[in-house]
Amino acid sequence: MGAMTAHPAPPDGLLPEWAPQSGVLMTWPHEATDWSDQLAAAESCFARIARELTRRVTVLVVCRDDAHAAHVKRVVGDAGGALARVRTYHAPSNDTWARDHGPLTVLRGGRPELLDFRFNGWGGKYPADLDDRITRTIAAQGAFGTTPLESVDLVLEGGSVEADGLGTVLTTSRCLLAPTRNPGAGRVALEGELRRWLGATRVLWLGHGGLEGDDTDGHVDTLARFADPRTIVYQGCDAADDPQRPELEAMARELAALRRADGDGYALVRLPSPRPVRDADGRRLPAGYANFLITNGAVLMPGYNDAADAKARDALARCFPDREVIVVDCRPLIREYGSLHCVTMQLPAGVVPAEA
């Protein structure tokens, strides 16, 4: 497995999502997870994502056992995925949100290093003891080759931080300052932790924004994303009577007031909002378009069979003119309160070995 190391000095910085990637991590659903009542639909969505990814990167899939791994390969193969780019690893799991239990990658001395932060089920909302061990378990199976891996005694989910690759980290106060994550840690202390572990030179905090049905306490990857160091893409709200509108408009004003390190403002790109997506009991689900994944040569964007899907795709295409924007129907994912970015974690170049 990757070497366990301790470093007194901060790393060079958290790699941005658009950096070249060697792999993407996914944890596959099974009948012992919350997906059991819609497992076929969920697997179809996972397989579509995996198919698109295998055209561009290696996909590391966390499976329960050999039988589950064989099943996953059949499903991905039937969907048209390139099985030569699928590697399976075994670990028990509570759920499938790789964005939040997977490792974050920083550069240290120009080389990638993995950080395995604690994951406590978004502040103890759901069981997460198995998911919290996944990164170390698959590292021991060689998933990351010789890439150093360090366990960090800090609760931090990948969906809660955005990096511009130049030292700026964007986050939300409602999530990072939630007392159920790191009790007693205030803003100053957490900024210190982000400097220490992620090499952050600046931390930008959003105090507003949120999607109805969200159970992450406002992950930034559902609200506002860096498209490049000068551009932030954010979730807007179209309907005047939408209960989400006041908070999302307040967030838009916050974003307009933010400044880059050179003092200039950010170019802001507003994403439309889909019509409300509801569960069988009528509860609204946190459907939005900011939960996209940037990968080699492409952006995978969640779709909801809504007229706004095409508008969101066009907006992202303008932000990423050198990448293909691919819409994946994520209605099965949103039924479990997450979307496309939530079920993936990119692994930058140099992390995944060329040979398994």
d(Cα 17, Cα 88) in Å, to the nearest integer? 23
Alpha helices in the chain (DSSP H): 39-54, 66-78, 98-101, 121-124, 134-140, 173-176, 187-198, 245-257, 308-319, 331-334
d(Cα 18, Cα 3) in Å, to the nearest integer? 26
Alpha helices in 106-213 (DSSP H): 121-124, 134-140, 173-176, 187-198
Closest CA to 324 of 292, 279, 291, 287: 292
Token pair of 72, please? 């996953």
In order of 74, 91, 101, 122, 324, the CA distances from 97 in angstroms are 22, 14, 7, 11, 24
Residue 142: Cβ-neighbour burial (10 angstroms; 0-12, 13-18, 19+): middle
> Do the beta carbons of residue 64 and residue 93 sit within 8 Å?
yes
Residue 5: Cβ-neighbour burial (10 angstroms; 0-12, 13-18, 19+): exposed
Q: Give me the residue label for tokens 């952006």.
A: 299
Q: Hey, which residues are catalytic here? A: 342
